[in-house]
Amino acid sequence: MAIRRKLFFTDTLSGNKREFVPMEKDQVKIYSCGPTVYDYAHIGNFRNFVFVDVLRRSLKLFGYVVTHVMNITDVDDKIIRDAKKEGVSTDVLAKRYTDAFFEDCRFLRLEPVEYNPKATEHINEMVDLVKRLIDAGMTYEVDGSIYFRISKFKDYGKLSKIDLDRTQAGLRIDSDEYDKEDVRDFVLWKAYKEGEPFWDVPVGKGRPGWHLECSAMSAKYLGRTFDIHTGAEDLIFPHHENEIAQSEAAFGQTFVRYWLHCAFLNMKTQKMSKSLGNIVTVHNLAKTGVNPLAVRYFLLSVHYRKPLIFSDEAIDAAGSAVDRLRNFYRRLSEISQLENKSANVQITSIVSKCREDFLDGLADDLNTAKSLGAVFEMVRQVNPLIESQDLTSDQAKEVISLLQMTNKILDILDDPQDVISEEIETLIEKRQEARKQKNFAMADKLRDELLSKGVVLEDTREGVRWYRKQ
Ligand SMILES: [Zn+2]
């Protein structure tokens, strides 16, 4: 039976925390701006993607059917720049980092979303949108590039609450957009330049501007109006403001009903971004052997709208928390196998309080900090009962089933059967040691021993990996 709650989200457009009511009963349509695939994504990008993961998992837990789109920007200035630098085609570069992105997603246990449309595969939809905007008189052309004239869209600025008269001076101007009539206008279609990918289409030979794809692809997969749009907070202006302008000017109806934005991950006091050079990529983190569950826990430990600071210490602390939970789960599993029936204590109130607080946290604007707090408060209260052997097998099962429910959202806990035992860990280490000393006979023997325990090893360039034989 689905768990029901009134859900509240902080909506950037209205500036208020609003009750969530979808357009269609029990259905939610979500669009999330995805990665631009020109390099490995940094952990700051993944704060936003983990937030989005919690959003979709929570909606499902509360009984909604979710249709979720996350685009892949696979044609863009940075992709063209880096492909040129490397001497490869933009397709090759984009494919490499698209694959890397999905590998990072798997590492951090993000649920696959329903659609991951690529910009290059939706050129027709984008061209149709540009044609609509041309027909509506919203555009002008300079040297083959087509611009959106924002003075024609009276609601421009409603999301970011930006003061348009003051933005003029401070706005970053792309070098190839100097011909705009107004510096605030943005490009819909970029005229062909030598050496750049292009499409020869009715609006001209060229390629799409970045903002265009999200408006075109969301309309295709979710309709002209949909429920929730997410993104990192730096996308509010100009990207999301431009998406609103394109979609609402083209279709004449509300684009998005709830706008949710995730705050930055900071490194000391600066925002983590490529240009600042303080980058920790998920790809590199994975290579250090960090526990992905600890990274997930860390990213969930603070409400998505509040700043979060990355440090090695914070990841270590998250690792300890995750270990604590894993040990708790393991001990409960052991007790659940026993025949211990006589109850000396009651735990119903502890379990139901945890359950209620956990769900209340999620329902209140996805407050994962509160939900995690509820779980660890229960651990704190139940642990002494495990120590004093006061827990019955049925009570252990009750706690396990609650943990499993919370883990549908958090996903920071492995089933005890899947947890690598210390014995296996030691065997893998011993084999590594044997290989280092070129004692291959011993290494092979240890490999066979692991195989007999159902553990298959794989030697990769990044080191040894293991998985359980099916
Ligand atoms: Zn977007």
The residue type found at 241 is E
Query: Token pair for residue 68?
Result: 């979720």
Same domain, 409 and 429: no
Last residue of a domain, one of 237, 255, 276: 276
Q: Identify whether 288 is part of a domain.
A: no
Same domain, 249 and 333: no
What total number of domains does the chain contain?
3
Q: Which uninterrupted H or E stretch holds 351?
A: helix 348-363
Query: Token pair for residue 96?
Result: 């490499």
Buried b (16+ CB within 10 A) or exposed e, 179-202: ebeeebbbbbbbbbeeebbbbebe
Q: Which domain holds residue 363?
A: 324-417
Same domain, 404 and 452: no
Q: Measure 33 CA to ligand 1 centroid, in angstroms.
A: 4
* Residue 277 confidence (pLDDT): 61
Same domain, 101 and 147: yes
Q: Identify whether 42 is part of a domain.
A: yes
Rg (CA), the chain: 26
Nearest-angstrom CA–CA distance, 265 and 12: 19
Q: Measure 299 CA to ligand 1 centroid, in angstroms.
A: 22
Same domain, 131 and 246: yes
Q: Measure 239 CA to ligand 1 centroid, in angstroms.
A: 6
Question: Could you write out the DSSP letters of every residue in 207-227?
Answer: EE-HHHHHHHHHHHHH-SSEE
Q: Measure 52 CA to ligand 1 centroid, in angstroms.
A: 14
Q: Measure 422 CA to ligand 1 centroid, in angstroms.
A: 45
Same domain, 153 and 197: yes
Closest C-alpha to 278, from 442, 43, 14: 43
Same domain, 413 and 428: no
Q: Measure 62 CA to ligand 1 centroid, in angstroms.
A: 26
Q: Measure 325 CA to ligand 1 centroid, in angstroms.
A: 37
Query: Token pair for residue 271?
Result: 């925002």
Same domain, 463 and 400: no
Q: Identify whether 381 is part of a domain.
A: yes
Nearest-angstrom CA–CA distance, 373 and 381: 12
Nearest-angstrom CA–CA distance, 216 and 309: 35
Q: Measure 211 CA to ligand 1 centroid, in angstroms.
A: 6
- For the full predicted model, state whether its pTM sits above 0.85: yes
Residue 58 belongs to domain with CATH number: 3.40.50.620
**pLDDT-flagged residues of the chain (< 70):** 1, 166-179, 268-278, 416-422, 462, 467-470
Same domain, 405 and 454: no
Nearest-angstrom CA–CA distance, 74 and 299: 26
For the beta carbon of residue 391, count every other beta carbon within 10 angstroms: 26
Q: Measure 35 CA to ligand 1 centroid, in angstroms.
A: 9
Q: Identify whether 1 is part of a domain.
A: no
Q: Measure 240 CA to ligand 1 centroid, in angstroms.
A: 6
Q: Measure 359 CA to ligand 1 centroid, in angstroms.
A: 30
Q: Identify whether 170 is part of a domain.
A: yes
Last residue of a domain, one of 417, 432, 451: 417
Same domain, 371 and 458: no
Q: Measure 232 CA to ligand 1 centroid, in angstroms.
A: 10
Q: Measure 326 CA to ligand 1 centroid, in angstroms.
A: 37
Q: Measure 70 CA to ligand 1 centroid, in angstroms.
A: 9
Q: Identify whether 291 is part of a domain.
A: no
Q: Measure 214 CA to ligand 1 centroid, in angstroms.
A: 5
Pairing of strands 204-208, 186-191: antiparallel
Residue 407 belongs to domain with CATH number: 1.20.120
Write the pLDDT tens digit of every residue in 45-73.
999 999 999 999 999 999 999 999 999 99
Same domain, 409 and 433: no
Nearest-angstrom CA–CA distance, 279 and 294: 18
Nearest-angstrom CA–CA distance, 379 and 457: 34
Pairing of strands 270-271, 265-267: antiparallel
Nearest-angstrom CA–CA distance, 371 and 374: 5
* Residue 245 confidence (pLDDT): 98
Q: Measure 159 CA to ligand 1 centroid, in angstroms.
A: 14
Q: Identify whether 302 is part of a domain.
A: no
Q: Measure 212 CA to ligand 1 centroid, in angstroms.
A: 8
Same domain, 177 and 272: yes
* Residue 272 confidence (pLDDT): 63
The residue type found at 390 is D
Nearest-angstrom CA–CA distance, 190 and 455: 53
The residue type found at 259 is W
